[in-house]
């Protein structure tokens, strides 16, 4: 019971910010004496700290506010995509303390070799946060495709050529003892949870996130909850047939939506095979910056490609919007990078298909997290274990 209550208070401070003990008691429903004892323990564990006097009531002796601390612990979130491995470290307050990305043609490597690089990125990340005086208490890897999170296995990820890869076991073997267990989950799901966390304070309860990277994936939040589906496959939007295409897809089908609007489709349209923007060994954002430069310079081929992608994207999104009726549609990955081209096209399509003028308009926006969304969500996921059970963080010996 005490562990549960410690987690309840820590989550309350995460979701609503610093507040006085009396306010915490009111909002949590716990007795003031219990709250005082629990806060004392959280302070000892270095997870919360006392701050300024709370003068919001304006009368009586003000109490001190209590807010999250946890600046000496963090979690690493990693993302593996077809063209790169990204890493992001967040402390308990959600402050970024380390970021990195390695450009790598994952599809040209065996899964074993790619995971060897992932292990190196983890080691470098652990060393970087340790240099800041911060200890990593969790690690999570976001991967594309169908993921058995319980087993830590990528069941099928066609865009990187993986099938039945025991990611967690292989990384455990490479990293050795003394390193936190690596959790594994689907990149789009983690990105969607992270994106929703950015919007929840605005009252957003129903969200559709579309990420444009090597593949196209989606995540759905409905009534504040992540939609996983019967077998955990909800969100494989890129492999739906949402347009007139018979282009072969890495999944083995033809005509998948991602063959029309995925990053590969954009790059094929804007450049020949020997063009540097199609070189997977270069950082993806550097390549996107070059495509953007060409568009801003008025290059006809680039602008034509962006127009084609925008039309196909808008058509598919309008179908999904009719089915899911989201409050907000967020465009992530390269869709966010070229949001000035894609957001208006999607808005126009949705507006033209609106059945009744009185229906609430779905808001279309670019992701606030861009290419880092999955890594951000992975780090948050890894930190969530502490919010659920604060006793995972031991009281320092000095106490």
pLDDT single digits (tens) 122-149: 999 999 999 999 999 999 999 998 899 8
pLDDT at 307 over 60: yes
User: One fold for both 73-190+375-392 and 202-369?
Assistant: yes
> What residues are paired with 91 via a beta bridge?
74
Q: What is the pLDDT of residue 51?
A: 77
Q: What is the pLDDT of residues 147-191, one digit of tens each?
A: 998 999 999 998 899 999 999 999 999 999 999 999 999 998 999
Q: Which CATH architecture has domain 73-190+375-392?
A: 2-Layer Sandwich (3.30)
Give the least confident one: 72-86, 231-245, 259-273, 312-326.
231-245
Q: What is the pLDDT of residue 302?
A: 97
Q: What angle do CA 203, 228, 115 make, to 5 degrees?
A: 110
Q: What is the pLDDT of residue 215?
A: 82
What is the chain's mean pLDDT, rounded? Answer: 90
The Cα 1–Cα 7 span in angstroms is 10
Q: What is the pLDDT of residue 398?
A: 59
pLDDT at 62 over 80: no
Whole-prediction pTM: 0.84
Q: What is the pLDDT of residue 198?
A: 85
Q: What is the pLDDT of residues 3-26, one digit of tens each?
A: 999 999 999 998 888 999 999 999
Give the least confident one: 83-92, 188-197, 247-256, 294-303.
247-256
Find all residues with CB under 8 Å of 294, minimum gap 6, and list them: 270, 301, 302
Q: What is the pLDDT of residue 55?
A: 55
pLDDT at 28 over 70: yes
Higher pLDDT pick, 346 / 358 = 346
Q: What is the pLDDT of residue 185?
A: 93
Q: What is the pLDDT of residue 27?
A: 92
Q: What is the DSSP secondary structure assignment for residue 238, as one 8-state letter?
A: G
Per the CB < 8 A criterion, the answer to whether 33 and 22 are in contact is no
Find all residues with CB under 8 Å of 185, minimum gap 6, and list them: 140, 141, 142, 143, 147, 149, 378, 381
> What residues are paired with 274 via a beta bridge?
none
Q: To 10 degrees, what angle do helices 284-296 and 263-270 make?
A: 50
HSE toward the beta carbon, residue 161, CA cutoff 13 A: 12
Q: What is the mean pLDDT of residues 51-76?
A: 75
Q: What angle do CA 8, 23, 382 make, to 5 degrees?
A: 30
The Cα 292–Cα 306 span in angstroms is 10
Q: What is the mean pLDDT of residues 377-392?
A: 94
Q: What is the pLDDT of residues 188-208, one digit of tens each?
A: 899 998 999 888 878 899 999
308: pLDDT confidence band, cut at 50, 70 and 90? very high
Find all residues with CB under 8 Å of 338, minimum gap 6, and list them: 288, 291, 292, 295, 306
Task: Express as a percent the part of the chain with pLDDT over 70.
Answer: 94
Report the topology of domain 202-369: Nucleotidyltransferase; domain 5 (3.30.420)
**CA dihedral sign, ordered 239, 338, 207, 351:** negative
Computed on alpha carbons and rounded to an integer, the radius of gyration of the chain in Å comes to 23
Q: What is the pLDDT of residue 60?
A: 52
Residue 42, SS3 per DSSP = helix
> What residues are paired with 342 via a beta bridge?
none
Q: What angle do CA 94, 3, 398 make, to 5 degrees?
A: 75
- For residue 323, give the nearest of 240, 251, 217 by alpha carbon: 240
- For residue 192, give the nearest of 204, 180, 182, 181 by alpha carbon: 204
Domain ranges across the chain: 2-68, 73-190+375-392, 202-369
80: pLDDT confidence band, cut at 50, 70 and 90? very high
**CA dihedral sign, ordered 143, 149, 152, 155:** negative
pLDDT at 251 over 90: no
- For residue 121, give the nearest of 159, 88, 164 by alpha carbon: 88
The Cα 257–Cα 239 span in angstroms is 6
2-68: CATH number: 1.10.10.10
Q: What is the mean pLDDT of residues 285-300?
A: 96
> What residues are paired with 226 via a beta bridge?
221
Q: What is the mean pLDDT of residues 361-381?
A: 91
């Amino acid at each position: 019971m005490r562990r549960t209550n410690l987690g309840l208070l820590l989550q309350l401070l995460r979701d609503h910010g610093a507040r006085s003990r009396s306010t915490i008691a009111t909002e949590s429903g716990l007795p003031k004496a219990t709250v005082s004892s629990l806060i004392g323990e959280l302070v000892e564990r270095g997870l919360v700290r006392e701050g300024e006097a709370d003068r919001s009531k304006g009368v009586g002796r003000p109490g001190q506010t209590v807010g999250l601390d946890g600046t000496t612990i963090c979690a690493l979130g990693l993302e593996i995509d077809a063209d790169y491995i990204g890493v992001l470290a967040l402390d308990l307050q959600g402050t970024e303390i380390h970021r990195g990305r390695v450009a790598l043609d994952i599809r040209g490597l065996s899964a074993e070799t790619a995971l060897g690089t992932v292990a190196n990125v983890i080691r470098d990340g652990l060393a970087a946060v340790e240099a800041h005086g911060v200890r990593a208490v969790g690690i999570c890897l976001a991967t594309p495709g169908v993921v058995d999170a319980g087993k830590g296995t990528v069941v099928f990820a066609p865009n990187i050529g993986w099938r039945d890869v025991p990611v967690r076991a292989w990384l455990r073997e490479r990293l050795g003892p003394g390193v936190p267990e690596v959790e594994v989950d689907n990149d789009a799901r983690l990105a969607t949870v992270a994106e929703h966390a950015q919007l929840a304070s605005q009252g957003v309860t129903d969200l559709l996130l579309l990420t444009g990277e090597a593949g196209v994936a989606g995540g759905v939040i409905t009534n504040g909850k992540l939609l996983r589906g019967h077998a955990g496959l909800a969100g494989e939007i890129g492999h739906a047939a949402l347009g007139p295409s018979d282009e072969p897809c890495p999944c083995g089908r033809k005509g998948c939506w991602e063959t029309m609007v995925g990053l590969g489709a954009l790059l094929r349209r804007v450049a020949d095979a020997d063009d540097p923007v199609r070189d997977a060994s270069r950082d993806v954002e550097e390549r996107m910056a070059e495509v953007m430069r060409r568009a801003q310079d008025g290059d006809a081929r680039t602008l034509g490609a962006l127009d084609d992608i925008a039309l196909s994207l808008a058509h598919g999104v309008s179908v999904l919007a009719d089915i899911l009726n989201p409050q907000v549609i967020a465009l992530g990955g390269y869709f966010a990078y070229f949001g000035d081209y894609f957001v208006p096209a999607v808005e126009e399509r949705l507006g033209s298909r609106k059945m009744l003028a009185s229906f609430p308009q779905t808001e279309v926006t670019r992701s606030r997290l861009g290419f880092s969304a999955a890594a951000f969500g992975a780090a948050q996921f890894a930190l969530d274990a502490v919010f659920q059970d604060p006793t995972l963080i031991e009281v320092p010996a000095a106490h």
